[in-house]
Structure 1
Amino acid sequence: MLITPGKLLAKIDSPEDLRKLDSSQLPQVCNELRQFIIDNVSVYGGHFGASLGVVELSVALHYVFNTPDDQLIWDVGHQAYGHKILTGRRDNFRSNRTYGGLSGFPKRKESIYDAFGVGHSSTSISAALGMAVASALEKNFSRQHIAIIGDGAMTAGMAFEGMNHAGATDSNLLIILNDNCMAIDPNVGALKEYLTDITTSQTYNKFRDEVWNMLGKMSNFGKSAQEIVSKVESVMKTAILRQSNLFESLGLRYFGPIDGNDISHLTEVLKDLKNIPGPKILHCLTVKGKGYGPAEKDQTKWHAPGVFDKITGEIQKKEYTTPQAPKYQDVFGLTILELAKKNPKIVGITPAMPSGSSLNLMMAAMPERAFDVGIAEQHAVTFSAGMATRGDIVFCNIYSTFMQRAYDQVIHDVCIQELPVIFCLDRAGLVGADGPTHHGVYDIAYMRCIPNMVVASPMNEQELRNMMYTGQGDAFQSGKNSLTIRYPRGSGVMPDWKKEFEEIKIGTGRKIKEGTELAILSFGPLGNFAKSACEELEKVGISVGLYDMRFAKPLDELLLHEICSRYNKIITLEDGCLQGGFGSAVLEFIADNGYSLTIKRLGIPDSIVEHGEPQELYHECGIDVLGIVGSIKNMLNSDIMSPALRF
């Protein structure tokens, strides 16, 4: 379906075209851009509310600043759709987040207007400051460097670190705080309360009126920028006499708050700020989902709603005639709540993903025992460790890709101290349209090498349930190990998943079926692909054994001895990186025990896997049913050593 842009937007192939327009035409550009986003996302899906909220900001930034020479860094990138459409990607925007199409996030190799690749929260200030310092070293003091960061991303320690450094420099840096009181879920913590105080304070409103009325009257700077700044600061001293300012205390000149959805005022403010040197922050108030009623009313639901009817606001859902398997995240959420009702020591922790992880179910039922700590993975892990020292049974739920940000805390604060924290890594493996910044493919390798860490992955929902039950049990909690349970995004395979709890002995796998010619050792949910592959091969007379190993560390050595004695050909299967992963663990066992056999590892190759539907990415990596069947046939029909390894 071809989405036709409005008459002004149709003529904007680059920001240069936008800057040719009269400022009086900008409201129409904003209306057309907002409608174009609504039209596209309703048909093709994608992130939604965040980009609608910054339509005016996207237009104003490209209108006022000389992009791409002036550098725009969008934090996370959920809100960058308008930016992409204005920078030459309008006609290809329908390919957004599809296999081989545009990335859902800014990406350096996609466009010269994407100054920095993003996807994880709170990197924009540090990146923009690095660019500003580099420009100064090049003696380029006119280039502008603008970081656009949300109030949710401001809760992360990295944002504070960037501001702390920026305030001690004279860098040409503008931080735009896009304050809509929302991340994916409503924001939490003291910073949210502080920003609320600023936006509702009569003192700050007085400051805003006096400063921006003064600046708004200036068509240009007749006097030097230093004199103008002196006037601004004079007003600040009288207006903020009774209230300190966090940003000012860090050495950043603070301006605002202003209406970030008022394109006329916004462009005038940005023009004035261009001429004020040094690090500064502009506080913009925006509405997430602006211009689309349902998205304004329920901002969490409309963060990334999928395909919907833009007229009625009805989000399309697949119709099923048979019972469907639940999402793994819901199995986690329902199971921790069930366990917590029986065990008062259980607590749940998540860094700003209560709905994404389904910990919101426990937060609603037991708010005193379930904690959203904001976008702060490092804090989440050490906070978990602190609670564990007092005997609490801690389930710390973090997306696999975000756990990378707390690696030191896992080692230093949890494992060295022998604390039995249970890490539930959601979105492990290939996550689909969010792409390489969100794939959770490294956790097996980086967790497996840590002493006092157990690494497990369920093949199905019942196994996830039982692994959680095992982790909270007295046998595990009385030991010195922590536990990583990794599971994928999306639905599982068992509609009837809620069985009686069964404790799993740590480090034990299970035999799914015996075979005679070759054995598949699977780790995690890809075992279901392996099961289907075995069924396909049975049809052509090939007998393959399948073993669900369940633990990458410790390995089930008794089961491995049995397998290595029975088979001379083995395939390992995982949805993590091949370097240092589950297959590497099996190779180490085979080498250490002197077995002579042929082994091939299937998993994520040593390359960046781009975005697309999960099945497309599984196929690309050769770990779907077709890829597994092909690898087995090649292995059985060939005596060539490569690409398999013989020991």
Structure 2
Amino acid sequence: MPRLEDIRGPEDLRALSPHAARALASQIRRLLVDTCTVTGGHLGPNLGVVELSIALHRVFDSPRDTILWDTGHQAYIHKILTGRTEALATLRQTGGMSGYPCRAESEHDVIENSHASTALSWADGLARAHAVRGVSDRAVVAVVGDGALTGGMAWEALNNIAAAPERPVVVVLNDNGRSYAPTAGAIAGHLADLRAGDAPGALFESLGLAYAGPVDGHDIEAVETALHAAVALRKPVVVHCVTEKGRGHLPAEQDETDRFHAVRAASAKKAAGTPSWTSVFGRELADLAAGRPDVVALTAAMLDPTGLSEFARRHPERVIDVGIAEQHAVTAAAGLALGGVHPVVALYATFLNRAFDQLLMDVALHRAPVTFVLDRAGVTGDDGPSHNGMWDLSLLNLVPGLRLAAPRDATTLRRALREAVACDDGPTALRFPKGASGDDIPAVETFAGIDVLHRGEQPDVLLVSVGAMAATCLEVADRLAAQGVGVTVVDPRWVKPVAPELVGLALEHRLVATVEDNGRVGGVGAHIAQALSDAGAAVPVRVFGIPQRFLDHGSRSDVLEANALTPRHLTHALLESLPSGWQARQGATASLAVG
């Protein structure tokens, strides 16, 4: 019998007998369950592609043959089979193995993708490059989850792939009937017909693609046979593999809520505390909609992850799942607003990037009253560079007429949501991070909608806190006060547009500093600095945020530490910014730097 630890690469896998390969699948499943329940990770999707991954690496010669994964969260077995079994224990941890394909880890990881519907375009481009260069001895394989076919980009790619029968691309359709949740739309219905044998290959063959299937994706030999036949055709072909999400782990197989799509780390499960930002939003929206029959909610295949499950339970006729199609969601929301309802579009902050044009030209240009709720904003940590929501504040600051809130706690989130939905003359957005909402942070006073969280004895530094950075800013104020520096900490709550009263308050201080877990370029700090410049203010501004680079995965605290967004780092930087003659002295700076 083979031992999993003896599989150092695909060549070891190809040497196994079919019986030995099947035995290896059982070992992989045990390892996945044992590991993901400790580290956290995408358990359900990977349990479903064990045999499929084995077959792929027995038929194709990676990395000479290119295997692309869509989405990348189903690539854990691929990583194991390409020599990273031991590294799996460090999954999603700082300095450890990424939860998505990662080119820095292995030559077998060709692209880095954590969102859906992109791999077919990659495959089309790579196949075209092979044709231009006269390369004919390498396969291009795209493993596409059924949910990815709900995204328009996948069909743009298929339109091009099918138009060139001389360029072979093997599309492996991993059909488990679910993406994050049951796959939405007419495509799901057609795949169900294919599984039942009612319309074998109709849709794909009508486009000019060859079709093989449906194939039992848990039968290694059957998948291998289908893949060999697909390669022999020397043309674009869809190999339709039917799999079961969560296969081999009974709790995941029986789960109807997708709790096992991605499981939390053991340490996170033990941590008690305040409700998550997501749950606070979801409950408040459901309550709000009870008194507002015009409020509808939209999601892009992520009903539960974005907190809309309670809304769906209480107002099922007013929730819309468009599939993994953010662009469509945003323009459809504009249409809903045109029709007299108030849409709330719930997305992860990083996934709004895909729909920026629709937000700009379809929503904002038409002054459509659409509310965007952006979960996982700022530093998300363990999901890595593509999931950190560090772009939304910069992108949204570009949008004319949009009002943007960054609540600091559960109470201000509830208030911001109700204020946003009350707006009927243009788009609104609010953003919050991943994880627990933390303790409420009360204001000591409020004026013009701006919350003052702390007032120092003298107006030396105005510290503008953005969203969830409030607790950090208050600790900075305490540290600076100990050095004789007076700090006023404010939370604008609505960070766009910049309130004139905030500009006036800034003029009363000698230094203005802003703190946000967004990219420094074009974020709230840059927006405030521009407002001060426009007002002719000479007060200096320090903008603290994330450098414009992709961040490695790790815990939120580790990422903030690495990017100098901790109380210790910020205090030291502000002390160094103080002009000579202020109470702070170099000695204080030195002592604080090591504190």
TM-score by length of 1: 0.86
Q: How far apart are residue 85 of structure 1 and its match?
A: 0.9
Equivalent position SS for 1:424 = strand
Q: Which residue does 1:350 correspond to in 2?
A: 299
Identify the residue that residue 555 of structure 1 maps to in structure 2: 498
Deviation at 1:598, TM superposition (A): 2.4
Checking the alignment, whether the CA contact within 8 Å between 1:523 and 1:551 is kept in structure 2 is no
Quote the residue 1:256 is aligned against: 213
Residue number in structure 1 paired with 2:564: 622
Question: What residue identity is the alignment partner of 1:261?
Answer: H
Q: Is the 8 A contact 1:569 1:597 kept in 2?
A: yes
CA RMSD, 1 decimal: 2.1
Q: How does 1:144-223 map to 2 (within 5 A)?
A: 144-170=139-165, 171-201=167-197, 203=198
Q: Distance in 2 between matches of 1:112 and 1:570?
A: 47
- Structure 1, residues 65-96: CA drift from partner, whole Å, max 9, x if none? 11110000000211110000111212222122
Contact 2:171 2:238 in 1 (8 A): yes
Q: Which amino acid aligns with 1:338?
A: D
SS in 2 for 1:116: coil
Q: Which moved more, 1:63-72 or 1:105-114?
A: 105-114
Per-residue deviation at 1:426?
1.0
2:453 to 509, 512, 522: 512
CA–CA separation in structure 2 for the residues paired with 1:294 and 1:100: 30
**Structure 2 portions without partners, runs of 5+:** 583-595
1:138–1:319 Cα change, 3 Å:
closer
1:317 paired with 2:269, answer yes
Matched, 1:268 2:225: yes
1:55 to 2:7 alignment: no
Deviation at 1:638, TM superposition (A): 6.4
1:577 equivalent to 2:519? Answer: yes
Q: For 1:339-418, what aligned pairs fall within 5 Å after superposition?
A: 339-418=288-367
The correspondence of residues 414-493 of structure 1 with structure 2, limited to 5 A, is: 414-473=363-422, 476-477=423-424, 479=425, 481-493=426-438
Q: Percent identity?
A: 35
Following superposition, the deviation at residue 629 of structure 1 comes to: 2.1
Higher mean alpha-carbon deviation, 26-35 vs 139-148, is at 26-35
CA distance in structure 1 between the aligned counterparts of 2:27 and 2:14, rounded to whole angstroms: 16
> What corresponds to 1:335 in structure 2?
284
Equivalent position of 1:225 in the other structure: none
Distance 1:80 1:592, change over 3 A: same
Counterpart amino acid of 2:521? Q
Tell me the CA shift for residue 192 of structure 1. Answer: 1.1
Instruction: Give the secondary-structure state (helix, strand or coil) at the position aligned to 1:109.
Output: coil
Query: AA paired with 1:408?
Result: D
For 1:267 and 1:495, locate their aligned partners in 2 and report how far apart those are by CA, in whole Å. Answer: 56
2:389 partner SS: coil
Aligned to 1:536: 479
SS of the aligned residue for 1:62 comes to helix
Q: Indicate the residue corresponding to 1:237 in structure 2.
A: none
2-structure distance, mates of 1:370, 1:246 = 28
How far residue 108 of structure 1 moved from its aligned partner, in angstroms, is 2.1
Question: Which AA in structure 2 matches 1:151?
Answer: D
Structure 1: how far apart are the matches of 2:107 and 2:223?
A: 25
Q: What's the CA shift for 1:316?
A: 7.5
- Alignment TM-score, normalising by the size of structure 2: 0.93
Tell me, in whole angstroms, the C-alpha distance in 1 between the residues paired with 2:39 and 2:522.
Answer: 37
* Code of the aligned partner of 1:557: P
**Structure 1 residues 28-49: Cα deviation after superposition (integer angstroms, max 9, x where no partner):** 1212222222222222221101
What amino acid sits opposite 2:149 in the alignment?
A: M
1:304 aligns with 2:251: no
The answer as to 2:31 corresponding to 1:36 is: yes
C-alpha distance after superposition, 1:286-314 (max 9, x if no partner): 01111111111116011112246xxxxxx
Q: Please state whether the residue corresponding to 1:148 is helix, strand or coil.
A: strand
Q: Distance in 1 between the 2:484 and 2:369 partners?
A: 47
Q: How many angstroms apart in 2 are the aligned matches of 1:344 and 1:133?
A: 51
Q: Answer whether contact 1:326 1:494 (CA < 8 A) is retained.
A: no
Question: Following the alignment from structure 2 to structure 1, what is the Cα–Cα distance between the partners of residues 95 and 312?
Answer: 39
- Do the aligned residues in 1 keep the contact of 2:146 with 2:176 (CA within 8 Å)? yes
2:330–2:355: 8 Å Cα contact kept in structure 1?
Answer: yes
Q: Is the CA contact (8 Å cut-off) linking 1:325 and 1:495 kept in structure 2?
A: no
- What amino acid sits opposite 1:180 in the alignment? N
Matches within 5 A, 1:285-296: 285-296=242-253
Q: How far apart in 2 are the matches of 1:306 and 1:457?
A: 26
Cα distance, 1:495 vs structure 2? 6.8
Say whether 1:600 aligns with 2:549: no
Deviations 1:86-141 (A, max 9, x none): 11212222122111112110022321101211111111111111111111111111
CA distance in 2, matches of 1:42, 1:483: 38
Contact 1:328–1:491 (CA<8 Å) still a contact in 2? yes
On the 8 A contact 1:141/1:172 being kept in 2, the answer is no
SS at match of 1:405: helix
Partner of 1:235: none
Gaps of 5+ in 1: 1-5, 205-239, 309-314, 498-503, 641-647
Letter in 2 for 1:485: L
